[in-house]
Chain A
């Protein structure tokens, strides 16, 4: 063909990508860039080169996320507003937490995380209510609860980050360093991942199932806070003082969150499938998404989780090569991460090559949750090793 591609397409242009962006999109991007720019300007001197790289990567990633998934923009802006208010009210001392109404009851990290907990439990109940009462309105409310809970959780984490610096400048660190903090992270990430699928598949019927596991995490956070007093901010052990923590831990929890969603969708699939056989006109068979959609969500969640879990495990190996003296030591945590990966690799092979679908894969996804759970919690509870950062 002598004609060029450009001339061929002329007049056939689809909507150009940038042209399709709204004013709000641009405003969002401008705010994110301004925020990142301000941080670099204000704190660049005390950040090491890796932290600058991470920040420079996070800003465009957040913008891309906001442009791709419009609903998240408003939430992120709300989180920014809330956490900046908290930072502003705190000023240079933690004492304000006792005197300021807003901090004490809403946006100090403890209060925000409590709000998150309450909202997640309310969302769980409301999602199931919406399912059983066949109420679309209740479904909307449940989504709103979930969004608010995620926003409060994220705010809580960001404010906690600031609070750690206010306790003592030496104590300052990103709040993903112990079991309490990562449970909050897990709840927020799982909720956001679910909300994405909810928007994409236009179904709220899965909400209750996914929120069940988040509620379980919230239950743990509450027990851990009130029974064990685990919500205190402690300084980092030397091994954790590294930029790797900022990327390794979140990547891991995207994996854990995705696998959890896959398992809960698996449960939904099994119930829906049973309902389809036993009672085709019943609530489940009519209100739940079609089986192929459930199967697809389950598959998407597992692939997404697999990708991020692979990245997280590799990042962990790279970090281990700097902190522990080798990229692989067959440490229990490393080994269980490998087991999780092998399990889902087998799952994916079954689907790709053998074409397995449906019930057995749903059961497998549910079983996968227990493997994942052991890697996440069981290793900390029952096994010892180098990765003893979140012991119970």
Chain B
């Protein structure tokens, strides 16, 4: 607030006036607003690499030197904030005492002249003595809730009344509140950390290291005043640190206690959306202390000795997977594998070794239920994802379901594959046999690779009556046998796609349509021979139609194996589900200060707006036989409202005075 210039001021006084000036305050409010916008538009605290890609090397450096990647702790932003706090404090320092005095000052020495200058005023003359009139004025004002002071001057009396003196507390509350909030928030900010980083005491670790190998320069001791870090803890594990993510690396913040995740539970809605997740925690706080236990969930953190522990998210904590690796290329035995989510293992295959990187395991997969099932959603059982990386580093990603899935009335073991994380999965559907497994399919596939079985099947096809009619003599039979073996080899190499390519290359254009149809028919028949051989000896009653459908599905699946790209089909046989809770641990010693500031701020705002200070004066002066009454009022807020109330106040008073 500006005050009239005084002569001969000291430099300090000038500075104080500048800091407390309204122009500076408003400029700062607007400046903070504008600079805050930057931090919302530009994603903060991303790895530097992202910014370089986005802005190019030149602008990256410019923005970096302006501190735009972490605006809210950039030096210039903190300078503005400091100015705002200083400006507000100076304002309170300069106006506070005056306002406190003003709350108690009734201004009973006010002059008649100044009362006449008010907008809200009335004036009357009465034949009664000032004492009688004064009594009525006082009682009238009291009945309206005003507080009074009466002063007898030499030749007149002043009744000074006031309402809403606390309005001034509103001013103090809001402004002190803002300062208190800022001071508290500063305590909880990461200024000391920035300083330590600047002076080289602390360095961000950018390598992916296990927590035990993080060097001392990237570790922060447990007595750090304030921090906010994350840690992923698998069920059953105990840690005593959290990670603070900073730009492209982390710092390890040690905790003064150890946290164990004893259990993690997730509840779901019927549509599979998470309903709640909670975790049983145990804190071990030093030798000889009884371990403390508590269950936390979203919105219900654990406040422990000034630390707050939140559950933020969850992930797989290294579930153990038992897998059957069925070979899909070449003839190889079935292998049993032990996998673990987050780990990888190497496996030698027909086309060189591959690394299996286990990505995730999901216990529930809720999908919309098929129409007519009476339910809206159904759980289709566990699945796991993995990447298969070859020696050149190229990887395909897979998603395999444990239980057979229904598709158009038939059941399959399903595995999705994609070559980049943004693509949709395309699915391989292997039909399941009557035993619910993929044994029959695999026997069929093995038969296709078995030279002897293939020869027999080809022989049988060639000798079929229909085929025999087409190739009556041995020379033609021999040629047909050779052709069929070739077709089967093509089919094994890449399904019907390769067969079609072969047909196109080996046949002249004009014969292609007719002959190709025959080729496919022969091939089908041979495949069916092989299938019948593979399916023979299976117990149970399987209808011919079932066999036909299974055969079609199996041939379709075999036909896309080349695109599936994996030398194995990994069937999930068993698992041990281990979850991990992602915890956030914070230490914010300034919190209670900030909350006090919040309280002051809110109280102040409402007092300031809704408790206007209103002042009314009645000046009574005896002149001749009459007493003149000057009645006037003023307010500092809501002048329209006061004008209305004042009208009521003075007409009521006039009526009472006239009634005397």
A238 to B598 alpha-carbon distance, docked (Å): 27
Contacts of A277 in B (CB 8 A): none
Q: Are A321 and B591 in contact (CB under 8 A)?
A: yes
Contacts of A13 in B (CB 8 A): 143
Q: Answer whether residue B206 sits at the interface, using C-beta atoms and an 8 A cutoff.
A: no
Q: Are B139 and A170 in contact (CB under 8 A)?
A: no
Contacts of A293 in B (CB 8 A): 640
Contacts of A330 in B (CB 8 A): 39, 44, 72
Q: Are B586 and A303 in contact (CB under 8 A)?
A: no
A292 to B639 alpha-carbon distance, docked (Å): 10
A354 to B21 alpha-carbon distance, docked (Å): 11
Supposing A241-B276, A339-B33 touch, asked if A326 and B228 sit within 8 A by C-beta, the answer is yes
Kindly report which residue of chain B lies nearest to residue A333, judged by CB atoms: B40
Stretch at the interface among A22-30, A92-100, A118-126, A305-313: A305-313
Kindly report which residue of chain B lies nearest to residue A296, judged by CB atoms: B640
A332 to B270 alpha-carbon distance, docked (Å): 32
Q: Are B586 and A5 in contact (CB under 8 A)?
A: no
Contacts of A345 in B (CB 8 A): 29
Option from B41, B594, B606 in Cβ contact (under 8 Å) with A327: B594
Interface hits, B584-640 → A, CB 8 Å: 584, 586, 588, 591, 594-595, 598, 601-602, 605-606, 609-610, 638, 640
Q: Are A171 and B32 in contact (CB under 8 A)?
A: no
Q: Are A303 and B609 in contact (CB under 8 A)?
A: yes
Q: Are B26 and A346 in contact (CB under 8 A)?
A: yes
Q: Answer whether residue A14 sits at the interface, using C-beta atoms and an 8 A cutoff.
A: yes
Contacts of B586 in A (CB 8 A): 325-326
Q: Are A383 and B601 in contact (CB under 8 A)?
A: no
Size of the chain B interface, CB-CB below 8 angstroms? 58
Q: Are B299 and A241 in contact (CB under 8 A)?
A: yes
Contacts of B588 in A (CB 8 A): 326-327
A93 to B654 alpha-carbon distance, docked (Å): 66
* Count of inter-chain pairs, beta carbons less than 8 A: 133
Q: Answer whether residue A322 sits at the interface, using C-beta atoms and an 8 A cutoff.
A: yes
Supposing A293-B640, A314-B602 touch, asked if A379 and B40 sit within 8 A by C-beta, the answer is yes
Kindly report which residue of chain B lies nearest to residue A317, judged by CB atoms: B598
Q: Are A332 and B40 in contact (CB under 8 A)?
A: yes
Q: Are B275 and A343 in contact (CB under 8 A)?
A: no
Kindly report which residue of chain A lies nearest to residue B150, judged by CB atoms: A1
Q: Answer whether residue B562 sits at the interface, using C-beta atoms and an 8 A cutoff.
A: no
- Residue-wise interface mask of A (314-338) relative to B, using a CB-CB cutoff of 8 A (1 in contact, 0 not): 1001100111111110101001101
Interface residues on A, range: 35 or more
Interface hits, A198-219 → B, CB 8 Å: none
A234 to B272 alpha-carbon distance, docked (Å): 12
Supposing A325-B312, A349-B22, A349-B26 touch, asked if A8 and B275 sit within 8 A by C-beta, the answer is no
A180 to B299 alpha-carbon distance, docked (Å): 24
Supposing A14-B144, A330-B44, A342-B32 touch, asked if A322 and B300 sit within 8 A by C-beta, the answer is yes
Q: Give A95 Cβ to nearest chain B Cβ, in Å.
A: 15
Kindly report which residue of chain B lies nearest to residue A245, judged by CB atoms: B299
A340 to B33 alpha-carbon distance, docked (Å): 8
Q: Are B273 and A235 in contact (CB under 8 A)?
A: yes
Interface hits, A258-273 → B, CB 8 Å: none
Q: In the complex, which of the residues B270, B297, B298 has the most CB atoms of chain A within 10 Å of its own CB atom?
A: B298
- Residue-wise interface mask of B (174-194) relative to A, using a CB-CB cutoff of 8 A (1 in contact, 0 not): 000000000001001000000
Q: Are A171 and B269 in contact (CB under 8 A)?
A: yes
Supposing A343-B33, A349-B25 touch, asked if A9 and B41 sit within 8 A by C-beta, the answer is no
Q: Answer whether residue B152 sits at the interface, using C-beta atoms and an 8 A cutoff.
A: no
Option from B72, B140, B299, B640 in Cβ contact (under 8 Å) with A322: B299
A173 to B33 alpha-carbon distance, docked (Å): 35
A311 to B595 alpha-carbon distance, docked (Å): 12
A237 to B268 alpha-carbon distance, docked (Å): 10
A127 to B620 alpha-carbon distance, docked (Å): 51
Option from A12, A338, A346 in Cβ contact (under 8 Å) with B142: A12
Supposing A5-B142, A335-B36, A354-B22 touch, asked if A238 and B29 sit within 8 A by C-beta, the answer is no
A339 to B41 alpha-carbon distance, docked (Å): 13
Q: Are A349 and B40 in contact (CB under 8 A)?
A: no
Q: Answer whether residue B508 sits at the interface, using C-beta atoms and an 8 A cutoff.
A: no
Kindly report which residue of chain A lies nearest to residue B21, judged by CB atoms: A353
Q: Can you list 9 A-B contacts with CB-CB less than 8 angstroms, sorted by A residue number? A: A9-B142, A9-B143, A303-B609, A307-B602, A310-B601, A318-B598, A325-B301, A326-B188, A353-B1
Given contacts A238-B298, A346-B30, 14 further A-B contacts (CB under 8 A): A12-B140, A13-B143, A170-B269, A170-B270, A235-B273, A307-B606, A318-B598, A321-B591, A326-B188, A327-B591, A330-B44, A332-B40, A339-B33, A354-B22
Which residue numbers of A lie inside 8 Å of B, CB to CB? 1, 5, 8-9, 11-14, 168, 170-171, 234-235, 237-239, 241-242, 244, 292-293, 296, 300, 303-304, 306-307, 310-311, 314, 317-318, 321-328, 330, 332, 335-336, 338-339, 342-343, 345-346, 349-350, 353-354, 379, 383-384
Instruction: Pick the 6 closest A-B CB pairs, nearest first.
Output: A238-B298, A12-B143, A332-B40, A342-B33, A303-B609, A325-B584
